[in-house]
Each structure stands twice: as C-alpha cells, then as structure tokens.
A and B are shown apart, each in its own frame.
Chain A
Amino acid sequence: MTALDKEFDFARPKTIEQLCNLVRECQHEDRHFIFSAGATDIMPHLKSEILSPDIVISLTALHALNTIEKRGNHIIIGTLTSLSDLSKNNHIQQHLPALGGAAHKVASPQIRNRATIGGNIMVENRCIYINQSRLNRQSHSPCFKADGNICHLVKSIKRGDDILCQARFVSDTAPLLLLQGSTLDIIGPAGPREIKLADLYLNDGMESKSLMRGEIITHIKVKIPENSASHYEKLTIRNALDFPALGVAVLRRGNGDISVALTGLNTRPGVFHATRENYETFDDMIVDICQKASDFTVTYQQDFFPRGYRKNMIPVFIRRGINKILEGAKS
C-alpha cells in the first residue's frame, strides 16, 4: 500500500530551462503543480491531502543551487543547500554563525540532512486544525484553508474579511535572514527578478508567500554583517522535532541600535528596529522594542504552551538574546 493514496505525476528537471518549460506546459494544460526540495514539509501535506497536485516538480536535480559562496561583501546561499550543510559551512560559521545556529534548531538531525534552506524560508504556515491527519480533519468541516467556509481557530472570521486564515508562520531561519536585510534571486517562466526577503511574506495564513505561480527562489543573498552580532532563541517543549512556539532573533549593531524579528506567532514574521540615539538609556530602548513586539503579536491557542505564556516570553527572549550578544562581545 502506498502512503500517498492520491496518484500524481513526478518530474525532476535537470536545468532551470527544463524547469521553466515544464511549468509553462503545466500552466498551458491547467495541471496543478507544486515544487518540492527536501520534501520534508510537503510530504506531510500530501499524506493528509491538504495538498493534492497533479504533478510534483522536484528541484533536487538543480545541482547548481546546492552551493554557498562568498562574493565581495555578500554570502550567496543556493536554496537547495541542506540545513545541516548550511550549519557546517565555513562561510556561515565565520560570518553568520547565528544563522547556522538557527538552522541547527530546525526539526531533527535526520530532517536537517534532507531539508533545504529554500524550503525553510518557504515553509507552509501551521495551524492545529489543518495540520492533522485526514481522519482527524474529517471530524470537522473544512476550514477556509481547505476551501471551506469557517475558521475553527478564530470563529469570528467570515468570508470577505481581509485575512481568512490565522495559520502561523514557523520558519526558524527567516528571522535572522530578515534582520540581515537578505534579498532573493527568483526565476520563473516570466524571467528573473530580485526581491527583498521581507517582501516574500504576506498577511494571510493560506496565501502567506508572494511568489507568483511557477517561480522558484534560486539564491538568498546576505550582506556580510559588519560590526554587529545576532542571536536566535526558540521556545519548544522538546529540543528536537518541535516547531517554534515562539522564535526571537535579535541583532545588535556596533552603534547600539537593536533589531528584533519574531516567528511562530502571527501569520507573518514581525520585524522591529530601535535606534539608540532616540532613547535616553539603553533600558528605555529595550522596554520600547519589547512593547512594540508584544503589541504586534496576536497569539491564538495553537501550541502546547498557553498563549499568554508565549506572549510573556517575548521580552524575556529579547533580553536573553541581548545578554548573550553582550556576553559574546566580552569573551
């Protein structure tokens, strides 16, 4: 018996040109396609039939995207790089150690050996109602994300509202990449383009990324940080296998400015900046950025941790991140 009961086709193009041709063909024939890289995110979705494509297009034969290079003052990360290769890479360890650390906090060693950084920044938003087995989901009516007419998590949402789905953003690597001002190289049937990572993320948990159909991300470009340090802290029950109930990345610049990015809470990551010279004391600045982060945050009961606890942990993690950075600067 196959675990995936719905039949679909599978293709593994070897070049970007073959990929774009295949996408055009699918679009022309109106075949529903999805991309897969490490497949550690899409497989559970296929098994529970949250996704039922006509064809899965694997990116894994695009070997040229499995590289990390230093070019001038940028690190260029090919999106097919596995999370375990990313953590161990010399350029990452030297210039972006906190990013390597965040990648190391994803899922489990076996998953990190397969999962890619491209898949991680694109990972589908999660919700306790939809990310369940088929059998479990049959026990309640389909929600908006499953083409239904209700949101079980936030019952007050109605069709016509701006945001239909509150499934939460969960990528562990995106927060630090956002703080570094990363940009993405994108290619698709309509040609190449470049966007800021910040512009990838949208507000709705069911349409949470801004890529156009058929586009893939080929590279993540990160400027090598000068005179700054960062840290990522993740709230989970277990050290392995858990998505972040809350993830907080903190970046401190040499001039004392602080930036914070959050994951695991809202439909999209939150990013906040505080300029040191606008505050009388360092502590005033921290209090203010903690307040901004808490104000932005909407938590629903989507995790083992009570929602109030997750929210209360935001300032704790921001302060802990800053302390870790300051300790690192001393050592």
Chain B
Amino acid sequence: MKLLNLTINGRDITKAVSPGMTLLDFLRDELNLTGTKNGCDKGACGCCSVMIDGKPMLSCLMPALEAEGAVITTIEGIAKGNNLHPVQEAMIEMGAIQCGFCTPAMVINGVHMLAENNNPGNDEVKECISATVCRCTGYNSIEKAMHLAASKMREAARDGS
C-alpha cells in the first residue's frame, strides 16, 4: 500500500491504496463516489470520465497512484448545492437521459467543452460526445442538450456582464 494525496470535489483526501488499484475503483469503492460508472473497464466506453486538473480523462485507465497531487472533479462535484449545472439542466429538459448510465460522463465532457467554448459548432459537440457510448438515446437528444446548455451559458454570460 502507498499513500495517495489528492483533492476530489474540493476535499483534500489522503488514503493508502494498492498500486494495482485504478482511479475508478478508488472513487467508487474507497470513496463511495459511485456516480462515475464502470462500463467496459478498458477505455472503450467513456463512462468512467472524470475531470483531472481541468481535463476529462478515463479513470479506468489510470492507476490511482498517478493521481498524486491532482485536482479531480467527479459528477458529484458538478452541481453547486441544489443548483444544477446548465449541462445537467439541459440533459433533463431535452429528455437526454434514459437509463442514465452514460449521463455522468456525458455531463463531465460537456461541462469541459463548454468551459472552453460556450458557442461550439456541431462538429465540436459531436466530437465531445463521440467517445462516450450511449446504448439508449441514439445521441440526438444529447446533442440537442449540449446546444441548449451552450445557449443557457451564453445567456448567463450576457446577463452577468
């Protein structure tokens, strides 16, 4: 076992982990943050996406010990209290959630895309959601939700300025 120090959803955490543990298992089994899903466990479905130092990455492909010193945001850290993020609101409003298994990853990737550019083109939205496999929706509603979230964020930026 080795000591791991990192920040998850604003909380500093120190815990002993075995070198064979993935970040995904650390989040789900050690911290009970089960919003991050294990779809394929081999990098091929995107469902385990978390934000690491501001960028979405796959937690199933990362040894937990590689996250030493990292600042991580999981789906549990996206809403501010009871206030959902515009991407979360838009996913609900567009009916883009069916079984919900891919939703945390779709949200994490969408939040990152819109933080970089709140006026994404169609290709950018497609690329953003391309690497998370959704078995239910057929992606159209998710695409629409990302555009709706973008317009909500542009509106908020205008109102704020």
A interface with B by C-beta (< 8 Å): 1-10, 12, 36, 39-40, 43-44, 46-48, 56, 58, 60, 84, 107-111, 113-114, 238-241
Is A2 a contact partner of B18 (Cβ separation < 8 A)?
A: yes
Q: Is the interface of A mostly helix, strand, loop or mixed?
A: loop
Q: Is the interface of B mostly helix, strand, loop or mixed?
A: mixed
Is A2 a contact partner of B20 (Cβ separation < 8 A)?
A: yes
Is B20 a contact partner of A110 (Cβ separation < 8 A)?
A: no
Interface size range of chain B in the complex:
20 to 34
Q: In whole angstroms, what is the CA distance A62 to B88 when docked?
A: 38
* Residues in B whose Cβ lies below 8 Å from that of A36: 63
Interface string of B58-76 (1 = CB under 8 A from A): 1011110110100000000
> How far in angstroms is the closest Cβ of chain A from B62?
6
Interface string of B4-41 (1 = CB under 8 A from A): 00000000000000111110110001000000000001
Q: Ordered nearest first, which 9 A-B pairs have the shortest CB separation? A: A108-B131, A10-B19, A4-B20, A240-B130, A113-B55, A43-B61, A240-B131, A114-B57, A44-B42
* Residues in B whose Cβ lies below 8 Å from that of A1: 25, 29
Q: In whole angstroms, what is the CA distance A208 to B161 when docked?
A: 57
Tell me which residues from 71 to 92 in chain B have a Cβ below 8 Å from any Cβ of chain A. Answer: none
- Pick the contact of A10 from B24, B25, B65, B127 — CB < 8 Å? B65
> How far in angstroms is the closest Cβ of chain B from A11?
9
Q: In whole angstroms, what is the CA distance A241 to B65 when docked?
A: 25
* Residues in A whose Cβ lies below 8 Å from that of B130: 108-109, 238-241
Is A40 a contact partner of B61 (Cβ separation < 8 A)?
A: yes
* Residues in A whose Cβ lies below 8 Å from that of B65: 10, 12, 58
Q: In whole angstroms, what is the CA distance A39 to B19 when docked?
A: 13
* Residues in B whose Cβ lies below 8 Å from that of A239: 127, 130
> How far in angstroms is the closest Cβ of chain A from B103?
16
* Residues in B whose Cβ lies below 8 Å from that of A2: 18, 20-22, 25
In the complex, B43 has a CB within 8 A of chain A: yes
